[in-house]
Structure 1
Protein backbone atom coordinates (compact mmCIF):
# COMPACT_ATOMS: atom_id res chain seq x y z
CA UNK A 1 0.00 0.00 0.00
CA UNK A 2 2.81 2.32 0.98
CA UNK A 3 4.61 1.52 -2.28
CA UNK A 4 1.47 2.35 -4.32
CA UNK A 5 1.11 5.70 -2.57
CA UNK A 6 4.75 6.56 -3.25
CA UNK A 7 4.42 5.45 -6.88
CA UNK A 8 1.30 7.57 -7.45
CA UNK A 9 2.93 10.55 -5.72
CA UNK A 10 6.02 10.18 -7.91
CA UNK A 11 3.89 9.90 -11.04
CA UNK A 12 1.97 13.06 -10.15
CA UNK A 13 5.22 14.96 -9.56
CA UNK A 14 6.53 13.83 -12.95
CA UNK A 15 3.32 14.99 -14.64
CA UNK A 16 3.51 18.37 -12.90
CA UNK A 17 7.18 18.80 -13.84
CA UNK A 18 6.48 17.99 -17.49
CA UNK A 19 3.52 20.37 -17.48
CA UNK A 20 5.69 23.15 -16.04
CA UNK A 21 8.36 22.48 -18.67
CA UNK A 22 5.78 22.79 -21.46
CA UNK A 23 4.43 26.03 -19.98
CA UNK A 24 7.95 27.44 -19.68
CA UNK A 25 8.71 26.47 -23.27
CA UNK A 26 5.49 28.15 -24.37
CA UNK A 27 6.46 31.35 -22.51
CA UNK A 28 9.95 31.34 -24.01
CA UNK A 29 8.51 30.73 -27.48
CA UNK A 30 6.04 33.62 -27.03
CA UNK A 31 8.82 35.94 -25.84
CA UNK A 32 10.98 35.01 -28.82
CA UNK A 33 8.06 35.63 -31.17
CA UNK A 34 7.38 39.03 -29.58
CA UNK A 35 11.05 39.98 -29.83
CA UNK A 36 11.12 38.93 -33.46
CA UNK A 37 8.05 41.07 -34.19
CA UNK A 38 9.63 44.07 -32.42
CA UNK A 39 12.83 43.76 -34.43
CA UNK A 40 10.86 43.43 -37.67
CA UNK A 41 8.95 46.62 -36.80
CA UNK A 42 12.19 48.48 -36.00
CA UNK A 43 13.68 47.42 -39.34
CA UNK A 44 10.57 48.69 -41.10
CA UNK A 45 10.98 52.01 -39.29
CA UNK A 46 14.58 52.20 -40.42
CA UNK A 47 16.18 51.79 -36.99
CA UNK A 48 19.19 49.61 -36.23
CA UNK A 49 18.23 46.54 -34.19
CA UNK A 50 21.81 45.68 -33.18
CA UNK A 51 22.08 48.69 -30.87
CA UNK A 52 18.42 48.82 -29.81
CA UNK A 53 17.78 48.38 -26.08
CA UNK A 54 14.48 46.69 -25.24
CA UNK A 55 13.22 47.03 -21.67
CA UNK A 56 9.69 45.67 -21.52
CA UNK A 57 7.42 48.30 -23.04
CA UNK A 58 10.31 50.72 -23.66
CA UNK A 59 12.53 50.46 -26.73
CA UNK A 60 15.54 52.75 -27.05
CA UNK A 61 17.07 53.34 -30.48
CA UNK A 62 19.94 55.62 -31.53
CA UNK A 63 20.55 55.99 -27.75
CA UNK A 64 18.06 58.81 -27.10
CA UNK A 65 14.89 57.97 -29.04
CA UNK A 66 12.20 56.15 -27.07
CA UNK A 67 9.56 54.02 -28.77
CA UNK A 68 6.76 52.11 -27.06
CA UNK A 69 6.28 48.46 -27.94
CA UNK A 70 2.49 48.89 -27.93
CA UNK A 71 2.73 51.85 -30.34
CA UNK A 72 5.20 50.51 -32.90
CA UNK A 73 2.49 50.15 -35.49
CA UNK A 74 1.09 53.62 -34.83
CA UNK A 75 4.21 55.25 -36.23
CA UNK A 76 6.08 55.25 -39.54
CA UNK A 77 9.70 55.51 -40.67
CA UNK A 78 12.23 57.90 -41.64
CA UNK A 79 15.21 60.02 -41.26
CA UNK A 80 14.98 63.65 -40.51
CA UNK A 81 11.33 62.85 -40.74
CA UNK A 82 8.91 60.28 -39.46
CA UNK A 83 7.60 59.23 -42.89
CA UNK A 84 7.68 60.40 -46.52
CA UNK A 85 5.52 63.47 -46.82
CA UNK A 86 3.73 64.70 -49.94
CA UNK A 87 2.31 67.93 -51.22
CA UNK A 88 -1.46 68.33 -50.97
CA UNK A 89 -4.19 66.44 -49.18
CA UNK A 90 -2.11 63.31 -48.69
CA UNK A 91 0.56 65.12 -46.69
CA UNK A 92 0.62 64.97 -42.90
CA UNK A 93 0.48 67.83 -40.42
CA UNK A 94 1.89 68.15 -36.92
CA UNK A 95 -0.92 68.71 -34.44
CA UNK A 96 -0.61 71.76 -32.16
CA UNK A 97 0.31 70.69 -28.64
CA UNK A 98 0.64 71.76 -25.03
CA UNK A 99 3.69 71.20 -22.86
CA UNK A 100 4.50 71.10 -19.15
CA UNK A 101 7.90 71.53 -17.45
CA UNK A 102 8.04 69.40 -14.30
CA UNK A 103 9.78 70.58 -11.13
CA UNK A 104 12.11 67.60 -11.44
CA UNK A 105 13.83 69.50 -14.27
CA UNK A 106 15.82 72.57 -13.21
CA UNK A 107 16.70 75.75 -15.13
CA UNK A 108 13.32 76.28 -16.75
CA UNK A 109 14.57 79.39 -18.52
CA UNK A 110 17.02 77.26 -20.53
CA UNK A 111 14.25 74.77 -21.33
CA UNK A 112 12.08 77.61 -22.64
CA UNK A 113 15.01 78.88 -24.71
CA UNK A 114 15.28 75.55 -26.55
CA UNK A 115 11.52 75.39 -27.03
CA UNK A 116 11.54 78.91 -28.49
CA UNK A 117 14.18 78.00 -31.07
CA UNK A 118 12.03 75.15 -32.40
CA UNK A 119 8.87 77.25 -32.31
CA UNK A 120 10.49 80.08 -34.30
CA UNK A 121 11.05 77.72 -37.25
CA UNK A 122 7.64 76.07 -37.22
CA UNK A 123 4.80 77.47 -39.34
CA UNK A 124 2.26 79.65 -37.54
CA UNK A 125 -0.43 76.98 -37.85
CA UNK A 126 1.36 74.87 -35.21
CA UNK A 127 1.02 76.26 -31.70
CA UNK A 128 3.07 75.14 -28.69
CA UNK A 129 1.28 76.25 -25.54
CA UNK A 130 2.70 76.00 -22.04
CA UNK A 131 0.37 74.62 -19.38
CA UNK A 132 0.97 74.34 -15.66
CA UNK A 133 -0.47 70.93 -14.89
CA UNK A 134 0.97 67.67 -16.17
CA UNK A 135 -2.52 66.26 -16.75
CA UNK A 136 -3.22 68.99 -19.30
CA UNK A 137 0.00 68.49 -21.28
CA UNK A 138 0.64 66.59 -24.49
CA UNK A 139 4.42 66.80 -23.97
CA UNK A 140 6.08 66.70 -20.54
CA UNK A 141 9.66 67.77 -19.80
CA UNK A 142 11.11 65.79 -16.89
CA UNK A 143 14.41 65.37 -15.12
CA UNK A 144 15.98 62.08 -14.00
CA UNK A 145 19.34 61.06 -12.54
CA UNK A 146 21.57 58.47 -14.17
CA UNK A 147 25.36 58.17 -14.08
CA UNK A 148 25.85 57.87 -17.85
CA UNK A 149 27.02 59.81 -20.88
CA UNK A 150 23.43 60.09 -22.19
CA UNK A 151 22.14 63.65 -21.76
CA UNK A 152 18.51 62.71 -22.26
CA UNK A 153 15.95 61.01 -24.48
CA UNK A 154 12.59 61.76 -26.04
CA UNK A 155 9.48 59.83 -27.04
CA UNK A 156 8.90 59.24 -30.75
CA UNK A 157 5.59 60.60 -32.08
CA UNK A 158 2.63 58.64 -33.34
CA UNK A 159 0.19 59.26 -36.18
CA UNK A 160 -3.56 59.60 -36.55
CA UNK A 161 -4.89 58.64 -39.96
CA UNK A 162 -7.77 60.82 -41.14
CA UNK A 163 -9.79 60.89 -44.35
CA UNK A 164 -7.90 63.71 -46.08
CA UNK A 165 -4.80 64.17 -43.92
CA UNK A 166 -2.52 62.30 -41.57
CA UNK A 167 -2.01 63.94 -38.19
CA UNK A 168 1.37 63.74 -36.47
CA UNK A 169 0.98 63.58 -32.66
CA UNK A 170 3.90 64.81 -30.56
CA UNK A 171 5.76 62.28 -28.37
CA UNK A 172 4.68 62.22 -24.75
CA UNK A 173 7.91 63.21 -23.01
CA UNK A 174 11.37 64.77 -23.13
CA UNK A 175 13.54 63.34 -20.36
CA UNK A 176 16.73 65.13 -19.31
CA UNK A 177 19.54 63.46 -17.37
CA UNK A 178 20.33 65.82 -14.46
CA UNK A 179 23.69 64.08 -14.02
CA UNK A 180 24.77 65.82 -17.25
CA UNK A 181 22.34 68.76 -17.25
CA UNK A 182 23.70 70.37 -14.08
CA UNK A 183 27.15 70.66 -15.67
CA UNK A 184 25.98 72.19 -18.97
CA UNK A 185 25.90 75.94 -19.60
CA UNK A 186 22.85 77.79 -20.93
CA UNK A 187 23.96 77.45 -24.57
CA UNK A 188 24.46 73.69 -24.25
CA UNK A 189 21.10 73.26 -22.52
CA UNK A 190 19.35 75.15 -25.30
CA UNK A 191 20.89 72.80 -27.85
CA UNK A 192 19.94 69.70 -25.88
CA UNK A 193 16.30 70.77 -25.49
CA UNK A 194 15.97 71.66 -29.19
CA UNK A 195 17.58 68.33 -30.14
CA UNK A 196 15.21 66.25 -27.99
CA UNK A 197 12.10 68.16 -29.08
CA UNK A 198 13.17 67.32 -32.61
CA UNK A 199 12.83 63.62 -31.77
CA UNK A 200 9.45 64.24 -30.14
CA UNK A 201 8.11 65.73 -33.39
CA UNK A 202 9.59 63.00 -35.61
CA UNK A 203 13.11 64.17 -36.48
CA UNK A 204 15.76 61.50 -36.11
CA UNK A 205 19.54 61.98 -36.18
CA UNK A 206 20.90 63.58 -39.34
CA UNK A 207 23.85 61.17 -39.26
CA UNK A 208 21.60 58.10 -39.11
CA UNK A 209 23.80 56.19 -41.55
CA UNK A 210 26.51 56.06 -38.87
CA UNK A 211 24.09 53.89 -36.87
CA UNK A 212 24.03 51.30 -39.66
CA UNK A 213 20.46 52.09 -40.64
CA UNK A 214 19.09 51.26 -44.06
CA UNK A 215 17.97 53.54 -46.88
CA UNK A 216 14.25 53.95 -47.57
CA UNK A 217 12.69 51.63 -50.14
CA UNK A 218 9.20 50.51 -51.02
CA UNK A 219 7.78 47.20 -52.21
CA UNK A 220 4.28 46.22 -53.27
CA UNK A 221 2.16 43.93 -51.12
CA UNK A 222 0.11 41.09 -52.62
CA UNK A 223 -3.01 43.23 -52.51
CA UNK A 224 -1.23 46.04 -54.36
CA UNK A 225 -0.67 48.25 -51.32
CA UNK A 226 2.84 49.69 -50.73
CA UNK A 227 5.09 48.45 -47.92
CA UNK A 228 7.86 50.86 -46.97
CA UNK A 229 11.08 50.21 -45.09
CA UNK A 230 14.11 52.15 -43.95
CA UNK A 231 15.24 55.69 -43.25
CA UNK A 232 14.03 58.56 -45.40
CA UNK A 233 15.78 61.82 -46.31
CA UNK A 234 14.04 65.18 -46.16
CA UNK A 235 13.61 66.56 -49.69
CA UNK A 236 16.15 69.18 -50.76
CA UNK A 237 18.70 68.11 -48.14
CA UNK A 238 21.96 66.25 -48.70
CA UNK A 239 22.07 62.89 -46.97
CA UNK A 240 24.31 60.72 -49.12
CA UNK A 241 27.26 60.37 -46.71
CA UNK A 242 27.66 59.12 -43.14
CA UNK A 243 27.48 62.66 -41.76
CA UNK A 244 26.34 65.05 -44.51
CA UNK A 245 25.56 67.97 -42.17
CA UNK A 246 28.16 68.04 -39.34
CA UNK A 247 26.77 71.29 -37.92
CA UNK A 248 23.22 69.90 -37.60
CA UNK A 249 21.64 70.30 -34.18
CA UNK A 250 20.08 66.88 -34.76
CA UNK A 251 23.32 64.94 -35.12
CA UNK A 252 23.67 62.03 -32.71
CA UNK A 253 26.35 61.85 -30.00
CA UNK A 254 26.21 65.64 -29.59
CA UNK A 255 25.71 65.84 -25.81
CA UNK A 256 27.44 68.96 -24.46
CA UNK A 257 27.42 70.81 -27.76
CA UNK A 258 26.90 74.60 -27.68
CA UNK A 259 24.23 76.38 -29.71
CA UNK A 260 26.72 78.26 -31.91
CA UNK A 261 25.09 79.28 -35.18
CA UNK A 262 21.98 77.28 -34.33
CA UNK A 263 19.92 75.36 -36.87
CA UNK A 264 21.41 74.62 -40.27
CA UNK A 265 19.38 75.00 -43.46
CA UNK A 266 18.83 71.24 -43.39
CA UNK A 267 17.56 71.43 -39.79
CA UNK A 268 15.06 74.11 -40.74
CA UNK A 269 13.86 72.05 -43.68
CA UNK A 270 13.37 69.05 -41.39
CA UNK A 271 11.42 71.04 -38.79
CA UNK A 272 9.11 72.50 -41.42
CA UNK A 273 8.79 69.14 -43.14
CA UNK A 274 7.43 67.41 -40.05
CA UNK A 275 5.30 70.45 -39.16
CA UNK A 276 3.55 70.78 -42.50
CA UNK A 277 3.89 69.51 -46.04
CA UNK A 278 5.99 72.47 -47.14
CA UNK A 279 9.53 71.93 -48.41
CA UNK A 280 10.90 75.48 -48.04
CA UNK A 281 13.38 76.45 -45.26
Structure 2
Protein backbone atom coordinates (compact mmCIF):
# COMPACT_ATOMS: atom_id res chain seq x y z
CA UNK A 1 0.00 0.00 0.00
CA UNK A 2 1.02 3.52 -0.60
CA UNK A 3 0.09 6.99 0.59
CA UNK A 4 0.55 9.82 -1.84
CA UNK A 5 1.41 13.23 -0.42
CA UNK A 6 0.57 15.40 -3.39
CA UNK A 7 0.02 18.95 -2.12
CA UNK A 8 -2.95 18.61 0.27
CA UNK A 9 -3.82 15.11 -0.90
CA UNK A 10 -2.59 12.22 1.20
CA UNK A 11 -3.55 8.99 -0.53
CA UNK A 12 -3.10 5.45 0.67
CA UNK A 13 -2.29 3.15 -2.22
CA UNK A 14 -2.46 -0.54 -1.96
CA UNK A 15 -5.87 -1.25 -3.11
CA UNK A 16 -8.83 0.21 -1.40
CA UNK A 17 -11.63 2.50 -2.03
CA UNK A 18 -12.01 6.26 -1.91
CA UNK A 19 -9.47 9.04 -1.87
CA UNK A 20 -7.72 9.52 1.44
CA UNK A 21 -7.22 13.17 2.32
CA UNK A 22 -5.19 14.77 5.06
CA UNK A 23 -4.31 18.41 5.36
CA UNK A 24 -0.57 18.40 5.14
CA UNK A 25 2.34 17.13 3.16
CA UNK A 26 4.24 14.82 5.49
CA UNK A 27 7.96 14.33 5.42
CA UNK A 28 10.66 15.44 3.06
CA UNK A 29 10.43 14.24 -0.50
CA UNK A 30 13.66 12.89 -1.88
CA UNK A 31 14.21 12.75 -5.59
CA UNK A 32 13.28 9.22 -6.70
CA UNK A 33 15.94 7.18 -8.47
CA UNK A 34 15.50 7.10 -12.24
CA UNK A 35 14.45 3.74 -13.65
CA UNK A 36 15.92 2.70 -16.98
CA UNK A 37 13.71 2.50 -20.05
CA UNK A 38 14.62 -1.17 -20.40
CA UNK A 39 13.28 -1.99 -16.93
CA UNK A 40 10.14 0.08 -17.51
CA UNK A 41 9.54 -1.84 -20.73
CA UNK A 42 9.86 -5.13 -18.85
CA UNK A 43 7.39 -3.94 -16.20
CA UNK A 44 4.92 -2.80 -18.85
CA UNK A 45 5.26 -6.10 -20.72
CA UNK A 46 4.29 -7.89 -17.51
CA UNK A 47 1.09 -5.87 -17.40
CA UNK A 48 1.93 -3.39 -14.65
CA UNK A 49 1.87 0.38 -14.52
CA UNK A 50 5.12 2.30 -15.03
CA UNK A 51 4.28 5.44 -13.06
CA UNK A 52 6.06 5.84 -9.71
CA UNK A 53 8.26 2.77 -10.02
CA UNK A 54 10.80 2.56 -7.20
CA UNK A 55 13.83 0.30 -6.67
CA UNK A 56 13.41 -1.97 -3.66
CA UNK A 57 15.58 -4.83 -2.46
CA UNK A 58 16.51 -6.86 -5.57
CA UNK A 59 13.60 -5.56 -7.61
CA UNK A 60 11.00 -2.81 -7.81
CA UNK A 61 7.79 -1.61 -6.17
CA UNK A 62 5.10 -0.93 -8.77
CA UNK A 63 1.54 0.36 -8.56
CA UNK A 64 2.19 1.52 -5.03
CA UNK A 65 2.41 -1.78 -3.20
CA UNK A 66 3.37 -4.64 -5.51
CA UNK A 67 6.87 -6.07 -5.37
CA UNK A 68 8.41 -7.45 -8.56
CA UNK A 69 11.84 -9.07 -8.35
CA UNK A 70 14.37 -8.53 -11.10
CA UNK A 71 14.18 -12.27 -11.79
CA UNK A 72 10.40 -12.15 -12.27
CA UNK A 73 10.74 -9.41 -14.89
CA UNK A 74 12.79 -11.65 -17.15
CA UNK A 75 10.73 -14.82 -16.68
CA UNK A 76 8.12 -15.90 -19.20
CA UNK A 77 4.56 -14.73 -18.60
CA UNK A 78 2.23 -17.73 -18.41
CA UNK A 79 -1.02 -17.72 -20.31
CA UNK A 80 -4.13 -16.93 -18.31
CA UNK A 81 -6.84 -14.38 -17.73
CA UNK A 82 -7.69 -11.59 -15.41
CA UNK A 83 -11.09 -11.29 -13.81
CA UNK A 84 -13.34 -8.38 -14.66
CA UNK A 85 -16.41 -7.37 -12.70
CA UNK A 86 -18.52 -4.68 -14.36
CA UNK A 87 -17.08 -1.26 -15.28
CA UNK A 88 -15.19 -1.05 -12.03
CA UNK A 89 -13.35 -4.31 -12.23
CA UNK A 90 -11.98 -7.04 -10.02
CA UNK A 91 -8.89 -8.53 -11.62
CA UNK A 92 -6.73 -11.52 -10.94
CA UNK A 93 -3.22 -12.05 -12.22
CA UNK A 94 -2.16 -14.91 -14.48
CA UNK A 95 -0.74 -16.53 -11.33
CA UNK A 96 -3.23 -17.96 -8.82
CA UNK A 97 -3.08 -20.27 -5.83
CA UNK A 98 -3.61 -23.90 -6.80
CA UNK A 99 -4.09 -27.30 -5.16
CA UNK A 100 -7.23 -26.28 -3.30
CA UNK A 101 -8.66 -26.69 -0.75
CA UNK A 102 -5.75 -25.48 1.38
CA UNK A 103 -5.18 -23.68 4.66
CA UNK A 104 -2.27 -21.25 4.79
CA UNK A 105 -0.43 -20.23 7.91
CA UNK A 106 0.25 -16.57 8.63
CA UNK A 107 2.84 -15.35 11.12
CA UNK A 108 3.38 -11.81 12.41
CA UNK A 109 7.06 -11.21 13.08
CA UNK A 110 8.43 -8.33 15.15
CA UNK A 111 5.36 -6.07 14.96
CA UNK A 112 3.19 -4.54 17.66
CA UNK A 113 -0.25 -5.44 18.98
CA UNK A 114 -2.18 -3.40 16.39
CA UNK A 115 -0.55 -5.39 13.57
CA UNK A 116 -1.27 -8.71 15.30
CA UNK A 117 -4.90 -7.74 15.87
CA UNK A 118 -5.13 -6.36 12.33
CA UNK A 119 -3.87 -9.67 10.98
CA UNK A 120 -6.49 -11.55 13.02
CA UNK A 121 -9.16 -9.23 11.62
CA UNK A 122 -8.07 -9.80 8.02
CA UNK A 123 -7.94 -13.58 8.54
CA UNK A 124 -11.40 -13.55 10.14
CA UNK A 125 -12.81 -11.69 7.14
CA UNK A 126 -11.35 -14.11 4.59
CA UNK A 127 -12.35 -17.22 6.50
CA UNK A 128 -15.92 -15.95 6.90
CA UNK A 129 -16.33 -16.28 3.11
CA UNK A 130 -15.94 -20.10 3.31
CA UNK A 131 -13.54 -20.18 0.36
CA UNK A 132 -11.45 -23.19 -0.63
CA UNK A 133 -8.47 -21.32 0.75
CA UNK A 134 -8.33 -20.42 4.41
CA UNK A 135 -5.83 -18.74 6.72
CA UNK A 136 -4.61 -19.56 10.24
CA UNK A 137 -2.28 -17.40 12.32
CA UNK A 138 0.65 -19.13 13.98
CA UNK A 139 3.08 -17.71 16.51
CA UNK A 140 6.23 -19.66 15.69
CA UNK A 141 7.97 -21.60 12.97
CA UNK A 142 7.92 -21.05 9.23
CA UNK A 143 4.63 -19.75 7.82
CA UNK A 144 3.21 -19.60 4.32
CA UNK A 145 2.86 -15.82 4.68
CA UNK A 146 5.01 -13.78 7.04
CA UNK A 147 3.89 -10.28 8.00
CA UNK A 148 6.86 -8.19 9.04
CA UNK A 149 7.91 -4.59 9.30
CA UNK A 150 10.08 -2.21 7.34
CA UNK A 151 10.90 1.41 8.13
CA UNK A 152 10.74 3.94 5.32
CA UNK A 153 9.75 7.60 5.32
CA UNK A 154 8.10 9.61 2.55
CA UNK A 155 9.96 9.76 -0.74
CA UNK A 156 9.04 11.24 -4.10
CA UNK A 157 5.69 12.50 -2.81
CA UNK A 158 4.41 9.25 -1.28
CA UNK A 159 4.85 6.87 1.58
CA UNK A 160 4.50 3.13 1.20
CA UNK A 161 2.20 1.68 3.86
CA UNK A 162 2.83 -1.91 2.90
CA UNK A 163 3.64 -4.15 -0.01
CA UNK A 164 3.35 -7.73 -1.15
CA UNK A 165 3.58 -9.73 -4.37
CA UNK A 166 1.70 -12.27 -6.44
CA UNK A 167 1.49 -16.08 -6.21
CA UNK A 168 4.44 -18.16 -7.34
CA UNK A 169 4.27 -21.82 -8.40
CA UNK A 170 0.71 -22.16 -7.14
CA UNK A 171 1.53 -20.80 -3.68
CA UNK A 172 0.62 -17.42 -2.19
CA UNK A 173 3.30 -14.76 -2.10
CA UNK A 174 5.22 -15.37 1.12
CA UNK A 175 5.56 -11.85 2.55
CA UNK A 176 3.45 -8.87 3.54
CA UNK A 177 5.62 -5.95 4.63
CA UNK A 178 4.08 -3.18 6.76
CA UNK A 179 5.69 0.22 7.24
CA UNK A 180 6.49 1.09 10.86
CA UNK A 181 7.49 4.70 10.11
CA UNK A 182 5.35 7.16 12.15
CA UNK A 183 4.13 8.85 8.96
CA UNK A 184 2.53 5.60 7.85
CA UNK A 185 0.10 4.69 10.66
CA UNK A 186 0.96 7.15 13.41
CA UNK A 187 2.08 6.39 16.94
CA UNK A 188 -1.15 4.54 17.84
CA UNK A 189 -2.23 2.55 14.76
CA UNK A 190 -5.93 1.92 14.29
CA UNK A 191 -6.57 -1.83 14.20
CA UNK A 192 -9.32 -1.67 11.56
CA UNK A 193 -7.18 0.54 9.33
CA UNK A 194 -4.13 -1.71 9.69
CA UNK A 195 -6.32 -4.79 9.21
CA UNK A 196 -7.80 -3.36 6.01
CA UNK A 197 -4.31 -2.78 4.60
CA UNK A 198 -3.26 -6.33 5.51
CA UNK A 199 -6.47 -7.67 3.99
CA UNK A 200 -5.67 -5.82 0.76
CA UNK A 201 -2.06 -7.03 0.67
CA UNK A 202 -3.16 -10.63 1.24
CA UNK A 203 -5.44 -10.05 -1.76
CA UNK A 204 -2.32 -9.47 -3.85
CA UNK A 205 -0.68 -12.55 -2.30
CA UNK A 206 -3.50 -14.73 -3.69
CA UNK A 207 -3.51 -13.04 -7.10
CA UNK A 208 -5.80 -10.00 -7.02
CA UNK A 209 -4.96 -6.84 -8.94
CA UNK A 210 -6.31 -3.36 -8.15
CA UNK A 211 -10.02 -2.99 -8.83
CA UNK A 212 -9.62 0.33 -10.68
CA UNK A 213 -6.99 -1.32 -12.84
CA UNK A 214 -7.91 0.56 -16.02
CA UNK A 215 -8.34 4.02 -14.47
CA UNK A 216 -6.65 4.65 -11.15
CA UNK A 217 -8.01 8.20 -11.02
CA UNK A 218 -11.31 6.60 -9.97
CA UNK A 219 -10.03 6.09 -6.44
CA UNK A 220 -6.85 8.18 -6.39
CA UNK A 221 -7.90 11.37 -8.21
CA UNK A 222 -5.65 13.14 -10.68
CA UNK A 223 -4.87 11.95 -14.18
CA UNK A 224 -6.24 8.60 -15.37
CA UNK A 225 -3.58 5.88 -15.23
CA UNK A 226 -4.10 2.61 -17.08
CA UNK A 227 -1.92 0.00 -15.38
CA UNK A 228 -2.00 -2.16 -18.50
CA UNK A 229 -3.00 -5.80 -18.78
CA UNK A 230 0.08 -7.40 -20.29
CA UNK A 231 -2.07 -9.09 -22.94
CA UNK A 232 -3.48 -11.68 -20.56
CA UNK A 233 -7.16 -11.21 -21.51
CA UNK A 234 -10.27 -10.52 -19.45
CA UNK A 235 -13.29 -12.52 -18.35
CA UNK A 236 -16.32 -10.78 -16.91
CA UNK A 237 -17.90 -12.60 -14.00
CA UNK A 238 -21.62 -13.21 -14.65
CA UNK A 239 -24.23 -11.63 -12.40
CA UNK A 240 -22.31 -8.50 -11.46
CA UNK A 241 -23.57 -4.92 -11.88
CA UNK A 242 -22.55 -2.69 -14.78
CA UNK A 243 -22.04 0.54 -12.82
CA UNK A 244 -19.04 1.83 -10.86
CA UNK A 245 -18.11 -0.07 -7.71
CA UNK A 246 -17.06 2.39 -5.02
CA UNK A 247 -16.35 0.05 -2.11
CA UNK A 248 -13.96 -2.64 -3.29
CA UNK A 249 -11.21 -3.81 -0.94
CA UNK A 250 -8.80 -3.83 -3.91
CA UNK A 251 -9.19 -0.23 -5.13
CA UNK A 252 -5.83 1.46 -5.62
CA UNK A 253 -6.42 4.26 -3.08
CA UNK A 254 -8.02 4.35 0.34
CA UNK A 255 -9.75 6.85 2.58
CA UNK A 256 -7.44 5.71 5.36
CA UNK A 257 -10.17 3.95 7.29
CA UNK A 258 -11.85 0.59 7.68
CA UNK A 259 -12.67 -1.31 4.49
CA UNK A 260 -13.64 -4.90 3.79
CA UNK A 261 -15.15 -6.95 0.96
CA UNK A 262 -18.21 -5.67 -0.87
CA UNK A 263 -20.64 -7.94 -2.71
CA UNK A 264 -18.69 -7.86 -5.98
CA UNK A 265 -15.43 -8.65 -4.19
CA UNK A 266 -17.10 -11.71 -2.70
CA UNK A 267 -18.36 -12.81 -6.12
CA UNK A 268 -14.86 -12.46 -7.57
CA UNK A 269 -13.18 -14.36 -4.71
CA UNK A 270 -15.73 -17.17 -4.82
CA UNK A 271 -15.35 -17.39 -8.59
CA UNK A 272 -11.60 -17.89 -8.17
CA UNK A 273 -11.49 -19.84 -4.92
Query: What's the counterpart of residue 257 of structure 2?
Result: 257
Match among 115, 121, 131 for residue 123 of structure 2: 115
The answer to whether structure 1 residue 157 and structure 2 residue 167 are counterparts is: yes
Deviation at 1:112, TM superposition (A): 0.7
TM-score normalised by length of structure 2: 0.65
Deviation at 1:204, TM superposition (A): 1.3
Instruction: Single out whichever of 192-201 and 98-107 deviates more from structure 2.
Output: 98-107
Q: Number of residues paired by the alignment?
A: 212
Q: Which has the higher contact order (CA 8 A, sep 6+)?
A: 2
Query: What's the counterpart of residue 198 of structure 1?
Result: 203
TM-score normalised by length of structure 1: 0.63
Higher helix share: 1
Match among 97, 106, 114 for residue 99 of structure 1: 106
Provide the C-alpha distance between the structure 1 equivalents of 2:197 and 2:215, rounded to a whole number of angstroms: 20
C-alpha contact 1:203 1:270 (8 A) present in aligned 2: no
The answer to whether structure 1 residue 141 and structure 2 residue 142 are counterparts is: no
Provide the C-alpha distance between the structure 2 equivalents of 1:258 and 1:45, rounded to a whole number of angstroms: 31
Match among 186, 209, 212 for residue 191 of structure 2: 186
Query: What's the counterpart of residue 169 of structure 1?
Result: 171
Query: What's the counterpart of residue 61 of structure 1?
Result: 62
What is the Cα-based RMSD across aligned positions, in Å? 3.3
3-state SS of the aligned residue for 1:109?
A: helix
Provide the C-alpha distance between the structure 2 equivalents of 1:66 and 1:187, rounded to a whole number of angstroms: 24
Provide the C-alpha distance between the structure 2 equivalents of 1:67 and 1:98, rounded to a whole number of angstroms: 23
C-alpha contact 2:106 2:138 (8 A) present in aligned 1: yes
Q: Cα 1:74–1:172, aligned 2, differ >3 Å: closer, same or farther?
A: farther
Q: Cα 1:205–1:249, aligned 2, differ >3 Å: closer, same or farther?
A: same
C-alpha contact 2:126 2:134 (8 A) present in aligned 1: no
Q: Cα 1:116–1:152, aligned 2, differ >3 Å: closer, same or farther?
A: same
3-state SS of the aligned residue for 2:253?
A: coil
